[in-house]
Amino acid sequence: MIRYIIVSVGSGILFGLMDGLMNANPLARRLFEVYKPIARTSINVPVGLVIDLAYGFIMAAIFLLLYNSLPGETGLVKGLSFAGMAWFFRVVMYAASQWMTTLVPAGAVLYMLATGLVEMLILGILYGLTLKPAV
């Protein structure tokens, strides 16, 4: 249980850091300029941190629930499998929805897909190397 809490907090902090790096860099700002008319002018950092911490706990819990069903013999492979699933359900579906319903440039959609994949792989590897269900 202690390991779960530590990994969950760590992954929540990683979520926040990676989201900040992936969305606030000059390339992302240029690609996501299309959202400027509807984007918030400031970010509520404390609320964002709470949301990212919640994501960390939820993602770690889902990983543990699915652990025995995930393909692979090692935790690392299971983590990579989980990352692929999370990337599809969290990133690919969102990017496809954005592409189909808004006038978002293809470069922005591809950037979302690539950075989302990196983010999910990092988290999947973290979960795979550190978490195993209680026996």
The pLDDT tens digits for 4-60 are 999 999 999 998 899 888 888 888 888 888 888 787 777 788 898 899 999 999 999
Summarised one tens digit per residue, pLDDT across range 80-110 is 999 999 999 999 999 999 899 988 889 999 9
Q: What is the pLDDT of residue 33?
A: 85
Inform me whether the pLDDT recorded for 1 exceeds 90: no
Quote the crossing angle between the two packed helices 106-130 and 75-86, to the nearest 10°: 150
Query: Which long-range CB contacts under 8 A does 90-94 form with residues at least 24 apart?
Result: 90/116, 90/120, 91/116, 91/117, 91/119, 91/120, 92/116
